[in-house]
Amino acid sequence: MTGTLYLVATPIGNLADMTFRAIDVLKSVDVVVYEERKEGGRLLRHFGIEKPVESLNEHNEAAATFIILDHLKNGKNVALVSDCGTPVFSDPGQMLVRRTVEAGMKVVPIPGASSLMPALTVSGFPIDQFVFYGWLSPKRPRRIAELQQLRREQRTIVLMDTPYRLVPLMKDIAEVFGSSRRVAVAFDLTMPDEAVFHGTAPELALRFEREERKGEFVLVIEGKGR
């Protein structure tokens, strides 16, 4: 009998957001697969969990997928966790899930924390329909072209990026969208210094340039009026 692959969502910052079910699964599986040793080790230590571990990240995804599939084929249950939030969603692991499904083995999602829905709900924009675009290109000409396409989008738009690219990103959004569209930026969700900023792109670009604010963020843009 083959094993089961569990996709275990973990807190995006506040460890109190870990679910009882997620803890139970991590305690019950044979192998835990984390993205980076530092974050994965911290999570397991916090909850007093000791398990054999493997690493799967953007640098070793193909090789790690082969090793983990072998564990599953040998009947071992495996839990995949990312550094934070829901595995596979904007994180490595899609190859593993696809190969597991293709092999006819069971994949079970263990839901939990995600930065996407909290950011959407506090934005104040319509969320009956939205577009998750994720990361724009790090190269400015391509990023500008992507933003110009998104400018025509009538649904609420969700973007993510690395903390050090916040100001350049906000400046580009201000250039393309102007002051006609509202923006919400949610910083360090679930953490003590959590903060949500609302305004136009030019207003927020100027504010973040002055404050040099650092931190993980989710950026939500109001859709084009119909």
pLDDT single digits (tens) 167-225: 999 999 999 999 989 999 999 999 999 999 999 999 999 999 998 888 899 999 999 97
Is the CB of residue 150 less than 8 Å from the CB of residue 157? Answer: yes
Q: Which residue has the tokens 């959004």?
A: 173
- Domain residue ranges in the chain: 4-110, 116-221
- Tell me the C-alpha distance between 180 and 226, whole Å: 13
Tell me yes or no: is domain 4-110 CATH 2.170.190.11: no
The pLDDT value given to residue 37 = 86
- Which helix (H) or strand (E) element contains residue 42? helix 37-46
Instruction: Tell me the backbone φ, ψ of residue 197, rounded to 5 degrees.
Output: -115, 135
Residue holding tokens 């009956």?
Answer: 128
Number of helices and strands (H, E) in the chain?
8, 10
C-alpha 67/C-alpha 62 separation (Å) is: 9
Say what the pTM is.
0.90
Taking every pair of Cα atoms in the chain, the longest distance, rounded to a whole number of angstroms, is 59
CATH entry 2.60.120.620 includes domain 116-221: no
Q: Are 135 and 206 in contact (CB under 8 A)?
A: no
Helix axes 201-211, 166-177, angle to 10 degrees: 160
Query: In the chain, which residues have pLDDT < 50?
Result: none
Query: Residue 95 has what pLDDT?
Result: 96
What's 25's DSSP letter? H
The Cα–Cα gap between 37 and 41 comes to 6
